Amino acid sequence: MTPDPTRPATAPAGAALDLAAQDAKLLVLARSARLRAHVPDGRRAEGAALRDTDGRTYAAATVGLSRPELTISALRAAVAAAVSSGARRFEAAAVVTEGDEIASDDLATLAEFGAGVPVFLGGTDGVARRRATS
């Protein structure tokens, strides 16, 4: 699925992006995954969900480790789960976080499997606020 140029990349303040049902489902899965994050040092917990081109979905959460450089982000964990299951191309992803941005390293990881994949950023309330691309 290609990004829809008629949909805004950022919602106006206090508003949500208008998502297709299958993309809204990714936000629900990402929000649920966030609740399973392992962040013992209090760093930001994130959840992510990813849909491959066959329609299969993968969800993952942040895995915080004692050495910060070894921490695995939710989106990278979801990509790893998908690739480990045989997926190589993706339609869309969602990340739920307290933050305002999707880490550039996370987008770069997804871009390894194809540029232009829309990634929806949602707040902890599950509302999509931004769209980025890999």
**Splitting the chain (134 residues) into consecutive groups of 10 residues, what average pLDDT does each group show?**
48 68 97 96 93 98 93 97 98 96 96 96 94 94
Asked whether 77 and 61 are in contact (CB, 8 A), the reply is: yes
pTM of the model: 0.86
Q: Which helix (H) or strand (E) holds 26?
A: helix 21-34
CATH number of the domain at 21-133, out of 1.10.540.10, 3.40.640.10, 3.40.140.10, 3.40.50.1000?
3.40.140.10
Rg for the chain, CA atoms, rounded: 14
Residue-range domain boundaries for the chain = 21-133
Q: Between helices 74-84 and 104-111, what is the axis angle to 10°?
A: 20
Half-sphere exposure of 70 (CA within 13 A, CB side): 4
Tokens for 4? Answer: 């829809």
